[in-house]
Amino acid sequence: MISSFPKLLGATVITLKLLSLSLFFGLLIGLLFAILRMNKNTIINKFAYGYSYVFRGTPLLVQIFIIYFGLGQIEYLRSTFLWVILKEPYWCAIIAFALNTGAYTSEILRSAFETIKPGLIEAGKSLGIPNKVIFYKIQIPIAIKQSLPAYGNEIILMLKGTSLASTVTLMDLTGVAKYIISTTFKPIEVFIVAGGIYLFMTYCVHNLIKFLEKKYGFQT
Amino acid sequence: MNKFKTLGLGILISFFLTISSNADSIKIGTEGAYPPWNSKDASGNLIGFEVELANELCKIMKAECTIVEQDWDGMIPALLMRKFDAIMAGMSITAERQKTITFSQGYADEVASLAVMKGSDLEGMDTPEGINLSLGGSDVKKALKTLTGALAGKTVCVQTATIHQNFLDSGDVGSVNVRTYKTQDEVNLDLASGRCDAALAAAVAFTDYADKSGKQVVLVGPTFSGGAFGNGVGVGIRQGGDDAIGKRDAKLLKDFNKAIDKARKQGIISKLAIKHFGFDASM
C-alpha cells in the first residue's frame, strides 16, 4: 500500500496536466459558445445550442471512444496532418475533455450573463461607454463572479472525469493504479490510496474556489 | 398480514433452495474477448475453445457449471473475492501468478508473436523461427539482441496484465515504448489504425483478427515461449487452505487435474483445439 504511493504521485502529475490543459481550452470554448448562444442570429444560436446539447447529453466515455477509436478508423483522416495530433492518446483525451467541459462551461457562463441586471448595462450606456467596453469591463467580470460556484463544481467533475483517460492507454492516476493492481492483485488497497489522492486534489480545488469567491464574489 | 408472512417465508425458502442447489455447482470465469480461446457470438453467448472445454470437463467431473464473464484486468482479484471458483481464460501458468493463485496442469499451449501491419519496416527481421526463453543459449541471446535493435523507439501495444506485457516490461528487448489496453480487440484496432508500430499477443489472436477483419496484419520475428511466457495455459484456482472453503478449493484443483487427464486421454482436448485453433494446441 505504501510502496505504491510514489508511483501514484508520479501519475498524479499527468492527471493534473490533463486537467489544466482541458480546463484552459474548455474555458476558451465555453466563453466562445456562451457568446454565440446570446447571438440574435437563429442559425448561430441553434448551432451553439446543438453543441452544448450533444456534449452534455452523451457520456464522456463515449465521447473519448469516438474521438480515439472512432476517428482512428477513418482511413482518409490518417493521411492528413490531423493524424499527428489524433495519433496521440494524450491529445485525443484533451480534445474530448475540453469539448465536454466547454459545453458545460458555456451553459454556466450563459446563465451567468443572463443574470446580469439590465440596469447595470443601461447605466454604462447612459455614461456613454461603448458596447465593447461594457462587455469587457462590466458583463464579463460580473459573469465570472456569478459563475464561480458552479464553475468550481465543474472543475471537480472534470478532475474526476480525467480518470477516463486510462481507457485510452494513458497512464494517469487511475491508469497507474490499475497497472499496480494487475501486478499485485490488491485492488482495495491501491484504489483507496488513489481515491485518497483524488480526494486531496478535490479538497484543494474546493478551497481555492472558496477563497476566490470570498475575494471576488458578491457579499450578500 | 398472514399473506405477507407466507410470502416472506416462501421467498426465504426459495432463497435457501437456491443456495443449497448451488452447493455443488462450479462457477468458471472467462473473459469472452480473446478469440479463439474464448469470445462471444453475435447474440452475446460465450463461445470458444475454453467454453467448450469447460463444459466437457464439468461433464467428466459430473458437476454443474456456470460460466461467467469477467474483464481480464480484474480476473485474479475476482477469483480471490470468490466471484467464481476457477479461471479458464487463456491464462498462462507463470511464477508471478502462482504467488497469488494456483493452477491446474496445463491443458493447452500456444506461442506468442509480434505482429505488424503489412509494409512495416519491422518485416523481414533476421531471427530464428521460434525461441524458448527458458532454454537460453546463444541463439536466444542473438534473437533478443536483434529485437532490441529493431524495436528501439517503437511503440509496442499489448493487453494489460498479460504475459506479453510482462515480457516487454522485463527489459529483455530493451526499453520499448509499451502501451497497454484493456482488451485484445482494442490492441488490434490501434495496430490497424497505425498508432502501434507493433503488437505482441498470442499468435492465433492476430491470425484470427486478420481472418475476420480482412486487415493486412502479419506476424514478424520469432515466436516466443518459456520464461516470462509461462508454461502453458491452465485452470486458475484459489490456493487451498485448512478451513472448509480452503479444503473445497484444494479438492476442486484435484478434480480439475483428474478431469484434464481424462479429457486428454479421450482426445477431447486435441479435438477441440484443432476445431478452434486449426492445429493441435493441447498439452
Domain assignment present for A187: no
CB contact under 8 A, B96 and A182: no
Tens of pLDDT along chain A (220 residues) come to 678 889 999 999 999 999 999 999 999 999 999 999 988 999 999 999 999 999 999 999 999 999 999 999 898 988 899 999 999 999 999 999 999 999 999 999 999 999 999 999 999 999 999 999 998 888 888 888 889 999 999 999 999 999 999 999 999 999 999 989 888 888 899 999 999 999 999 999 999 999 998 887 665 4
Q: Is the peptide bond before A187 cis (omega within 30 degrees of 0)?
A: no
Compute CA distances B53 → A101, B24, B210, whole Å. 48, 19, 25
Domain of residue A161: give its range: 15-167
Task: Name every chain A residue with its beta carbon within 8 A of the beta carbon of B189.
Answer: 69, 72-73
Measure in Å the smallest separation between the Cα of A183 and chain B Cα atoms. 7
**Shortest CB distance from A181 goes to which of B77, B186, B194?**
B77
pLDDT at site A220:
44
Domain assignment present for A202: no
Which residue, among A143, A170, A45, A53, has the nearest Cα to A100 in the 3D structure?
A53
B38 DSSP β-pair partners:
B34
Is B53:B263 a contact under the CB 8 Å cutoff?
yes
Measure in Å the smallest separation between the Cα of A63 and chain B Cα atoms. 16
pLDDT at site B221:
94
B57-88 in b/e form (b: 16+ CB < 10 A) is bbebbeeebebeebebbbbbbbbeeeebbbbb
- Cell (9 digits) for B60: 467428466
Domain assignment present for A112: yes
- The residue of chain B with its CA nearest to that of A89 is B195
Q: Which residues contact B39 (CB under 8 A, 6 or more apart)?
A: B32, B33, B46, B47, B48
Domain assignment present for A106: yes
CB contact under 8 A, B73 and A183: no
Domain assignment present for A28: yes
Domain assignment present for A150: yes
CB contact under 8 A, B189 and A182: no
Domain assignment present for A83: yes
Tell me what the mean pLDDT of segment B240-256 comes to.
Answer: 93
Asked whether the predicted pLDDT for residue B14 surpasses 90, the reply is: no
Domain assignment present for A144: yes
pLDDT at site B4:
67
Q: Count structural domains, chain A.
A: 1
CB contact under 8 A, B160 and A69: no
CB contact under 8 A, A178 and B160: yes
Nearest 5°: phi and psi at B170?
Answer: -70, -15
Domain harbouring A117, CATH code: 1.10.3720.10
Asked whether the predicted pLDDT for residue B20 surpasses 60, the reply is: no
